[in-house]
Copies of this chain bind each other. A is one copy, B any other.
Amino acid sequence: MQRIAIDMDDVMAETALHVINKINTLTGSNWTKESVGKNHPEFNTHYLPHRDILFQKGFFRDIPVMPDAQEVIKSLQDKYEVFVVSAANEFPLSLTEKLEWLNEYFPFIGWEYTVFCGHKYMIKADYIIDDHPKNLLKFEGKGLLFDAPHNQEVTNYQRVNSWKEIEKILM
């Protein structure tokens, strides 16, 4: 059975949207995923001074699920061994929250198939689905780059725009 490593933030979870909503509230701005995608450097000048929100208790618990992620990942399990692989260890308070979040929205993924880490290149899998090119770069299997506002300029990986598109490619 082939193995897939699936990232959480901006792949299973709408993390960018959650960040944008927080920044809009904090700064009185009205950024959208689309406008951030078109001008990510300018968004960063508003976002980076507030990056401590990522370290606050509760931040990761409330993130909305990415559309269609639940149904498609459940069906992927019929054909693949699915691991969730999140580079979460920079955020110590996020880890318990991420397990709770997975239990709520993805109860069909057992804790044995969850990985919280830093680097991902030592994960042995056939596919990785991730929004960060750095996680695809040294990965031994095939990388699928999940479309996100912050990766619009990346061209050297197969881009996927939705879970429905992933379903077509992998099922």
Contacts and interface: CB of A to CB of B under 8 A. Distances in A.
Interface of A: 3, 5, 83, 89-90, 92-93, 95-96, 99-100, 110-119, 122-125, 140
15 contacts: A89-B112, A89-B114, A92-B95, A92-B96, A93-B96, A95-B95, A95-B116, A111-B118, A112-B118, A112-B119, A113-B118, A114-B117, A115-B116, A115-B122, A123-B123
A106 to B, nearest CB: 13
In the complex this chain forms, how many copies of it are found?
2
B96 A116 contact: no
Contacts of A92: 95-96, 99-100
Contacts of A118: 110-115
Contacts of A89: 99, 111-112, 114, 116
B119 A122 contact: no
Contacts of A140: 124
Given A116-B117, A124-B140, 8 more contacts: A89-B116, A95-B99, A95-B116, A111-B118, A112-B119, A114-B118, A115-B122, A124-B124
A89 B89 CA distance: 13
